[in-house]
């Protein structure tokens, strides 16, 4: 019996010939990433030894620029850590800063066939690059950074074959919400994405889908490599890598086929995601106060482009705030050059620097009591974006932008012309 | 044997509920004051060391932040849930919070009842009803770490991290 992609990557990293569901694998890690929250005064433990400084990446993203003294202190600690051990891949406030998972994507830090770990839950975003990424929490990150090793319990794999192409105004965020609604919880399972529909999805679009795999409770979610991925990697790195393909006789827990042409815009209702999504058309008319587009899942150039297209020549509804946070400063510059930033500003949006910011209710754009928000970010959990009484709906950037213009939850086709009309 | 009074929580208890984002800026001991403030205000004043938290499905879903540590610092005797999010479970191992997956546990207990837990025998017993359920196995190496205070004591002994200055 053959192996799935996740099993193959774990086998290589664990020095094993075969990995099967249930196995506990002690793996050599290829990349260990720290984000700024690891250095919080209340979290940080002084590290005395690093297994290999060249395999460590440090990115400041959650609280950037520092909004208070505790955050300023954590950034100081992070800089000292890099200096002490000669870690050169530090993405500090400025030119090459961004949300860690976006930085990984744009700098090709997650090589196909390898393993990347970070404390942050969305580290699995690297699965878009055929890389096994996982959030492992701070103690395990400290363990990995000092010893070069961590553990994984191998899970069975669910395979999704994507076919066809998304219709205008429909995004991989909607594909994710469709999966969450139709197939539900993926507790202990890996996800493998493949099929002919993948080649029509940009790496950013794939990363959105993969980032949201965390919200399906999945272990690794990994895309099968294709020419688009290999070209993307070769444009950004000369480092050698070995992409992993599933064996023809790999064993899957389940196999599903998703026809992208049939996906429609979805919205997740407040507080939880799994089996809690509805087609936008069923929620049309719900009044909102706050609209957010950003995070590791939805701060991509594609996301800013579609948001700009929706709001072009229009104005955000009175009583509504539209906040847009690019995933990295590089994305910000690209959006500026393409004219998206100007279009968004003209419509009344606030465009912030790259940071996790509002997604986690950290700083900039926190929700007040009894407010209603629609967000294109990673989570809609109670209390996550501010006051616990606030209601958080989750959708694609196009749906969020359309809702900001209308002032109520609205199908993006309303503003995208005939081809995307609901 | 761990025995304690049961507090019940539902499905999808996120780490945002145990450790809201803004509380990350606080020192460790203050962070635990924020546990369940959004969904059950005042609970941290009622819970006592040795009490047992029972959750439903996907306990600990969400961010990888050190929420397990706040539960440990509150003195929770152990956490049992129908299923525990795998990242949250890693943090339970890492910070030394005893966390056990036990399908059906949520339906088998009412709040205030006494649970008797044997990690070695992998059983949870409801002292009131007598019902006994079995706990999912945990790989031995992980169970050892979880029961011995987590990863940091190990890394301190190896000289990889500095001891905490009190």
Count of A-B CB contacts under 8 Å: 146
Task: Check whether A378 has a pLDDT greater than 90.
Answer: yes
pLDDT-based confidence at A418, cuts 50/70/90?
A: low
pLDDT (mean) for A365-391: 96
Burial tier of A231 (Cβ tally within 10 Å: 0-12, 13-18, 19+) = exposed
pLDDT (mean) for A57-67: 97
Question: How is chain A split into domains, by residue range?
Answer: 5-242+253-260, 270-415
| Eight-state DSSP code of residue A148 | S
Task: Check whether B165 has a pLDDT greater than 90.
Answer: no
Q: Does the beta carbon of A230 lie under 8 angstroms from any beta carbon of chain B?
A: no
Query: Which pLDDT tens digit goes with each residue over B122-142?
Result: 999 999 999 999 999 999 999
The ipTM assigned to this model is 0.96
Q: Which domains does chain B have, with CATH numbers?
A: 2-158 (3.20.19.10)
Do B25 and A40 lie within an 8 Å CB cutoff?
yes
Mutate which: A84, A85, A132, A137, vs B, most B CBs within 10 A: A137
Q: Decide whether A5-242+253-260 matches A270-415 in CATH topology.
A: yes
Q: What is the model's pLDDT at position A15?
A: 97
Chain A residues close to B158, C-beta within 8 Å: 146
Task: Check whether A420 has a pLDDT greater than 70.
Answer: no
Given B12, B16, B158, which is nearest A384 (Cβ)? B16
Given B62, B91, B139, which is nearest A139 (Cβ)? B91
Mutate which: A6, A73, A122, A139, vs B, most B CBs within 10 A: A139
Rounded to two decimals, what is the model's pTM?
Answer: 0.96
Q: How far is B132 from chain A (nearest CA, A)?
A: 24
Strand residues in chain B grouped as ranges (E): 2-8, 52-55, 78-81, 99-101, 114-118, 123-126, 132-134
* Chain A residues 94-153 within an 8 A CB cutoff of chain B: 119-121, 134-140, 142-143, 146-147, 151, 153
| Eight-state DSSP code of residue A218 | -
The topology (CATH level 3) of A270-415 is Aconitase; domain 3 (3.30.499)
Task: Check whether A422 has a pLDDT greater than 60.
Answer: no
Q: Does the beta carbon of A284 lie under 8 angstroms from any beta carbon of chain B?
A: no
For A157, the enclosing helix (H) or strand (E) is: strand A157-163
Query: Which pLDDT tens digit goes with each residue over A302-344?
Result: 999 999 999 999 999 999 999 999 999 999 999 999 999 999 9
Backbone angles phi, psi at B55, to 5 degrees: -120, 170
Query: Which pLDDT tens digit goes with each residue over A279-300?
Result: 999 998 999 999 999 999 999 9
If you measure CA to CA, which chain A residue comes closest to B83?
Answer: A187
Do A143 and B155 lie within an 8 Å CB cutoff?
yes
Q: What average pLDDT does chain A have?
A: 97
Among candidates B68, B40, B24, which has minimal Cα distance to A361?
B24
Query: Which pLDDT tens digit goes with each residue over A18-54?
Result: 999 999 999 999 999 999 999 999 999 999 999 999 9
Query: Which pLDDT tens digit goes with each residue over B13-56?
Result: 999 999 999 899 999 999 999 999 999 999 999 999 999 999 99
Beta-strand pair A391-394/B2-8: unpaired
Do B14 and A381 lie within an 8 Å CB cutoff?
yes
Strand residues in A209-356 grouped as ranges (E): 221-223, 254-259, 266-268, 277-279, 290-293, 321-324, 350-351
Looking at domain A5-242+253-260, its CATH architecture is 2-Layer Sandwich (3.30)
Q: What is the model's pLDDT at position A198?
A: 98
Q: What is the model's pLDDT at position A123?
A: 97
Rounded Cα–Cα distance for residues B131 and A164 (Å): 52
pLDDT-based confidence at A363, cuts 50/70/90?
A: confident
Query: Which pLDDT tens digit goes with each residue over A334-348?
Result: 999 999 999 999 999
pLDDT (mean) for A219-231: 97
Q: What is the model's pLDDT at position A362?
A: 86
């Amino acid at each position: 019996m053959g192996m799935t992609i996740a099993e193959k990557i774990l086998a290589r990293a664990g020095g094993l010939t075969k990995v099967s569901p249930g196995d506990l694998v002690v793996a050599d890690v290829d990349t260990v990433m720290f984000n700024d929250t690891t250095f919080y005064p209340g979290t940080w433990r002084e590290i005395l030894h690093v297994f290999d400084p060249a395999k460590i990446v440090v990115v400041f993203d959650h609280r950037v620029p520092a909004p208070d003294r505790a955050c300023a202190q954590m950034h100081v600690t992070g800089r000292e850590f890099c200096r002490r051990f000669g870690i050169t891949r530090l993405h500090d406030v400025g030119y090459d800063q961004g949300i860690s998972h976006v930085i990984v994507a744009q700098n090709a830090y997650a090589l196909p066939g390898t393993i990347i770990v970070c404390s942050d839950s969305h580290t699995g975003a690297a699965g878009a690059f055929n890389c096994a990424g996982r959030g492992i929490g701070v103690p395990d990150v400290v363990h990995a950074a000092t010893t070069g090793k961590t553990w994984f319990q191998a899970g069975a794999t669910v395979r999704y074959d994507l076919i066809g192409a998304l219709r205008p105004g429909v995004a991989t965020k909607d594909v994710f919400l469709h999966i969450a609604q139709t197939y539900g919880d993926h507790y202990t399972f890996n996800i493998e994405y493949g099929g002919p529909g993948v080649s029509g999805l940009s790496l950013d679009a794939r990363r959105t889908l993969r980032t949201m795999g965390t919200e399906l409770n999945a272990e690794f979610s990994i895309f099968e490599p294709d020419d688009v991925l290999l070209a993307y990697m070769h444009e950004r790195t000369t480092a050698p890598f070995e992409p992993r393909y599933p064996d023809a006789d790999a064993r899957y827990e389940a196999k599903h086929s998703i026809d992208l042409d049939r996906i429609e815009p979805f919205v997740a209702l407040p507080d939880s995601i799994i089996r809690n999504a509805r087609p936008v058309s069923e929620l049309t008319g719900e009044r909102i106060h706050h609209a957010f587009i950003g995070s590791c899942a939805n701060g991509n150039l594609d996301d800013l482009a579609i948001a700009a297209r929706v709001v072009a020549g229009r104005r955000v509804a009175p009583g509504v705030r539209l906040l847009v946070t690019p995933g990295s400063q590089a994305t910000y510059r690209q959006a500026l050059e393409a004219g998206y930033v100007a279009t968004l500003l003209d419509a009344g949006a606030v465009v912030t620097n790259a940071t996790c910011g509002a997604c986690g209710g950290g700083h900039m754009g926190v929700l007040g009591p009894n407010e209603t928000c629609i967000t294109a970010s990673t989570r809609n959990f109670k209390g996550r974006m501010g006051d616990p009484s606030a209601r958080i709906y989750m959708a694609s950037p196009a749906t969020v932008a359309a809702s900001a213009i209308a002032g109520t939850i609205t199908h993006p086709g309303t503003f995208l012309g005939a081809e995307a009309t609901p | 044997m761990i025995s304690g009074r049961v507090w019940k929580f539902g499905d999808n208890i996120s780490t945002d509920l145990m450790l809201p984002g803004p509380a990350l800026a606080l020192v460790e001991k203050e962070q635990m004051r924020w546990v369940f403030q959004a969904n059950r205000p005042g609970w941290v004043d009622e819970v006592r060391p040795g009490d047992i938290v029972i959750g439903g499905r996907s306990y600990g879903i969400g961010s990888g932040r050190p929420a397990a540590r706040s539960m440990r610092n509150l003195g929770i005797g152990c956490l049992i849930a129908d299923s525990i999010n795998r990242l949250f479970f890693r943090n339970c191992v890492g910070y030394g919070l005893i966390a056990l997956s036990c399908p059906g546990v949520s339906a088998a207990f009412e709040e205030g009842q006494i649970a008797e837990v044997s990690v070695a025998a992998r059983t949870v017993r409801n002292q009131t009803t007598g019902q006994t359920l079995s706990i999912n196995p945990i790989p031995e190496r992980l169970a050892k770490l979880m029961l011995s205070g987590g990863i940091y004591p190990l890394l301190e002994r190896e000289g990889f991290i500095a001891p905490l200055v009190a």
